[in-house]
């Protein structure tokens, strides 16, 4: 398989890393409070755990922690742009990436901007990054997706919360994934999910959101194919946005039916299952979700060399995009598979009472002036707010 003509620079993912919260809660804990069988979450949602932030963690600390190993490995000499995608914004004006810029000690000759469109915006950032690198192949772009998924306590959506960040380095002649040129896009004004300025939690119409997701993926796929994108049977694995992993499975079966695929249900599920491992344990990470799916696939035991991966990105409201990429030879040498699994295993298991306390403390915090004692062992921490200014610092040993 090939993705580029001889006159087009090969652009794609040079590196990828992730970070998540310090704590985890088994969804059986929530099932006990809700009075339901844990299988409702383990099987019905396809989720086993969700990450829970310590009081001194947020989208900035996770973003910096995800990006730090990439900067350590590649340096900053070629870095010219940081694109920070999130729907968990911490300021109505200042980009969260500017805080990350300082924490990582990046050069001043770097542009930083924040992008928002629900869970989709990391894909927009990736496409913008690829265009920048194609224009100037000597430059690199750091794309960061970082989010905290929060819903009303005791609501049906509560078990689909989570938190995580993925950082990706976009470069010419990449080590991991070569992005193919065709993309398919779709936008429709749908009120399936939104978060007003006055609310700390999202509002969601669950039934509408599922149908809007499927409609958007179908529309983006149609546009993708009309622009020369690969056929369904030319794609080996599919990475979907995963608000919960069962949603990706349902979406894939829906798309297969739309395109008339003759694959069995077991064969279709096998195209998805290797992408679900990390999202199943982290929960919903909004903009980072589809790229955690990619990371889980890359870290699997499968030999993906030369295989084509389809990406199906969705953001409520609603925007979707479909694109594809080819896994590069030697990709495993750029992975951190053992470290990734160790990071998930190192999270502190908490019970429902501690989980509710953490969420309650976060909701009650005085945003004008608050100090957070150190709780996280991650590289960076959110120390609090002084005179409406957020304070971030490296974590002390």
- Which sequence positions are flagged as catalytic? 87, 119, 241
| Exposure on the CB side of residue 203, measured as CA atoms within 13 A | 9
Length, in residues, of the chain: 397
**Residue matched to tokens 């396809």:** 46
Closest CA to 84 of 64, 103, 56: 64
The CA R_g of the chain, rounded to the nearest whole Å, is 20
CA dist 57 and 231 (Å) reads 42
CA distance 85 to 124: 9
Q: Report which DSSP code applies to 306.
A: T
Cis status, amide bond into 318, omega within 30 of 0? yes
Burial class (CB in 10 A: 0-12, 13-18, 19+), 77: exposed
Interatomic CA distance for residues 203 and 150, integer angstroms: 10
**SS3 category, 196:** coil
How far is 85 from 231, CA to CA, in rounded Å?
29
């Amino acid at each position: 398989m090939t993705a580029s003509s001889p006159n087009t620079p090969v652009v794609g993912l040079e590196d990828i890393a992730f970070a998540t919260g310090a704590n985890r809660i088994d969804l059986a804990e929530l099932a006990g409070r809700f009075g339901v069988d844990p299988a409702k979450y383990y099987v019905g949602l396809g989720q086993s755990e969700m990450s829970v932030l310590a009081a001194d963690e947020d989208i900035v600390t996770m973003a910096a922690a995800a990006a730090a190993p990439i900067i350590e490995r590649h340096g900053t000499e070629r870095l010219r742009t940081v694109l920070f995608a999130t729907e968990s914004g911490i300021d109505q004006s200042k980009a969260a990436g500017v805080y990350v810029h300082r924490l990582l000690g990046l050069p001043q000759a770097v542009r930083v901007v924040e992008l928002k469109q629900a869970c989709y915006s990391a894909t927009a950032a990736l496409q913008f990054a690829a265009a920048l690198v194609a224009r100037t192949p000597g430059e690199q772009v750091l794309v960061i997706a970082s989010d905290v998924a929060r819903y009303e306590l005791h609501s049906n959506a509560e078990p689909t919360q989570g938190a995580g960040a993925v950082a990706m380095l976009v470069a010419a002649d990449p080590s991991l994934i070569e992005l193919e040129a065709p993309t398919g896009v779709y936008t429709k004004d749908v009120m399936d999910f939104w978060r007003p300025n006055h609310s700390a939690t999202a509002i969601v119409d669950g039934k509408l959101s599922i149908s809007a997701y499927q409609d958007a993926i179908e529309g983006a796929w149609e546009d993708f194919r009309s622009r020369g994108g690969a056929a369904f049977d030319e794609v080996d694995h599919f990475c979907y946005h995963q608000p919960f992993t069962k949603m990706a499975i349902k979406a894939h079966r829906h798309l297969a039916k739309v395109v008339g695929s003759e694959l069995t249900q077991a064969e279709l599920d096998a195209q998805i299952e290797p992408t679900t491992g990390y999202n199943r344990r982290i929960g919903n990470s909004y903009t980072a979700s589809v790229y955690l799916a990619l990371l889980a696939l890359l870290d699997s035991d499968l030999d993906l060399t030369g295989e084509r991966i389809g990406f199906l990105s969705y953001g409520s409201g609603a925007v979707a995009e479909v694109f594809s990429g080819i896994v590069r030879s030697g990709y495993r040498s750029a992975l951190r598979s053992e470290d990734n699994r160790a990071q998930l295993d190192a999270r502190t298991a908490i019970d429902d009472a501690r989980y509710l306390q953490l969420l309650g403390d976060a909701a009650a915090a005085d945003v004008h002036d608050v100090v957070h004692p150190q709780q996280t062992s991650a590289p960076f921490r959110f120390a609090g707010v002084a005179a409406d200014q957020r304070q971030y610092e490296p974590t002390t040993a």
